[in-house]
Structure 1
Amino acid sequence: MTTSETIDLSQAVARELPYLRRYARALTGSQSSGDRYAAATLESLLVDPSVISAAASAKVGLFHTFHLVWASAGAPTAEAEDRMTAGAMAHMAALTPNSREALLLHAIEGFDHDEIAAIMQTDPEDVAQLIATANREMEASVTGKVMVIEDEAIIAMDIVDIVTSIGHSVTGVARTRDGALALADKTLPDLILSDIQLADNSSGVDAVNDILARHGDIPVIFITAFPERLLTGDKPEPAFLITKPFTEEQVRSAVSQAMFFASTETLHG
């Protein structure tokens, strides 16, 4: 491999690395665990970069390398550090093997069935079955109350429709930072789904931080047109991050998985 090819490969991997880290965190259940496997993936590529050059694209090669590293370790999830995480791990044990991996690759990272088959070393038909199974099993596992922070009315309506279609209730829609805190004080949600830029030029991130500071840990999904702004490597980073414009499948998947990672003991009936 020439120096120019090495530089091009490094640049291609660097462009996709934030998205690999997003995927790794969602798959393993924690930022620290996901980052460990992302780092191990880069180390593997330093030893054998041919995996990238042999793939259909740099992104497919990168995710395939991660799959090999993660699968060789036994496809682990994060260690249970508290009762909430322990409940999530118990849910994970009941899932059909490889189904959640296929769902994340498709719904969150945007790979098609052929690309996922190349990443996971399986057939496209098997991928389709795994995705369908994951959606069915995760949506059936737990339901709860969802709070939406979104200043664009049409987008908010779309999100509410998607969330309610999979069995969750919506506590309300907030358009500003202050409105979000007031809504959370009125009805504590089990999940927050938040845009980044709000109607009064306040920040959805700040709104979420206000709520978490007052009410404790609540699963959060951020929606943004600029995901790289939140995938910086600084802690904390969101485990679930949807890129605008989003699809219904992306929202369904992220909501189901975020709820899935919350123990049923933490949901408020």
Structure 2
Amino acid sequence: MILVLDAGNTNIVLGLYKDKELIADWRLSTDPIRTADEYGIQVMQLFVQNNINLSEIEGVIISSVVPNIMYSIEHMILKYFEVKPIVVGPGVRTGINIKYDNPKEVGADRIVNAVAAHELYNKPLIIIDFGTATTFCAVTKEGNYLGGAICPGVKISSEALFQKAAKLPRIELVKPPSVICKNTVASMQAGMVYGYGGLVEFIINKMKAEMIDLGEEEPMVVATGGLAKLINEEAKSIDVVDPDLTLKGLRIIYEKNKE
């Protein structure tokens, strides 16, 4: 079995693969103050609850967009699993050709998503990740990562309203029945859900037009991340929602580099 680990700004997502089957997955909160032993105890508890022995883990792969937790995470893997993890970054084989001005600037999670979607669908792609930030990535059928767009995530925007507007409350992110709402909470929910649906549709259409101008076929749109299903209800251009896309990409990259 292999352990795949994606460290984001809000959550650390762990997945356990047996061959190509995802047999378990968990989320931990990202905390740069937490030590290697604190992370290790949490992971050990998850394994015990699922009757999994740490000695069964033959390899680990990590992607991270949070540099200041990497020492603790890598040290935890070395101490508790006794394996050296593969860390997604320069020198790791992905099968993706990054066309960014500076390839080192591309977040590891965006590369991992691109690898997974390219391997799974083998088409021109627009990949949207609804995480702490919402990212849009364009990938050609040949596996060239062209670049993309980044905007604040839905939760960040909702939290900013609560923090910066004195009379606006913190809200649950759910879709209200209409855009014309008769109370403040529903009005904020409408702005978040329908507003982000419109934002996503607009960026998708612009990216599609630019990719077609470059000679690509109309790209397939794949979405992932915690709020992908919610926004998908309003963004009709999304073709597939795959909540495990990042974990799948990590497994694929591990297979390319395990030797």
Q: Give TM class, smaller chain.
A: 0.3 to 0.5
Q: Which has the higher helix share?
A: 1
TM-score by length of 1: 0.32
TM-score by length of 2: 0.33
